[in-house]
Amino acid sequence: MLEIVRIENILVNQEPNNWEESISIVGQLLENAGSINAKYTEAMIEAVKQLGPYIVIGKHIAIAHAAPEVHVHKNDMSVAILSKPVAFGSQNDPVKVLFALASVDGKSHLEKLMELARIIGEDDEVVDLLSKCTTKEEVYEIINGVNNGRVPLSHRKG
């Protein structure tokens, strides 16, 4: 199976106090993986402060990212499921599912954004399913299952 998000880059039941803290959560996952350094997490937060809530790409979902630069060591992605959703100041608030994307160059950055948008947009229920996940394994199965043409978990139940 082709992995979009590795299981060690997934957190569930997160309760950030604000959007900055939520970005720090997904950034820390990438830092722990050795994919970025702390300056990239700071750049993701600064981008929202300067440009507004552009990372909120749909109802209840956001993809934190910043310009590819020297603070990214390898292409990677993380995701946090927020049991305490946060507001970014978008009409699609509150955000319940937050991804972070790190890319070493502009081409791979755009490719990964498009790939993630395809997965999220492929099934109207994907964001809803993700927001209800209580384990990393459920999140992993949904994201990577949709990417590999398999049906999300809820469609297989019953």
Other Cβ atoms within 10 Å of 143 Cβ, number: 26
Q: Give me the mean pLDDT over the 55-79 stretch.
A: 91
User: What's the CA gap between 70 and 78, in Å, rounded?
Assistant: 19
List the domain boundaries for the chain: 7-149
Of 12-16, 98-102, 143-147, where does mean pLDDT reach its minimum? 143-147
Q: Report the alpha-carbon distance of residue 136 to residue 11 in Å, rounded.
A: 6
CATH architecture of 7-149: 3-Layer(aba) Sandwich (3.40)
54, amino acid identity: Y
Percent with pLDDT over 90 in the chain: 64
C-alpha separations of 32 from 38, 65, 109 in Å: 10, 17, 20
Q: Which is the catalytic residue, given 65, 71, 73, 155?
A: 65
pLDDT-derived band at 156 (thresholds 50, 70, 90) equals very low
Tell me: the pLDDT tens digits for 21-43?
999 999 999 999 999 999 999 99
What pLDDT does residue 114 have? 77
Separation CA 136–CA 10 (nearest Å): 6
Q: What is the pLDDT of residues 107-153, one digit of tens each?
A: 776 777 777 777 776 555 888 999 999 999 999 988 887 655 554 44
Q: What is the DSSP letter of 34?
A: T
**pLDDT of the residue at 150:** 58
pLDDT confidence tier of residue 93, bands split at 50, 70 and 90: very high
At residue 116, the pLDDT reads 76
155 is a catalytic site residue:
no
Confidence of residue 155 (pLDDT cuts 50, 70, 90): very low
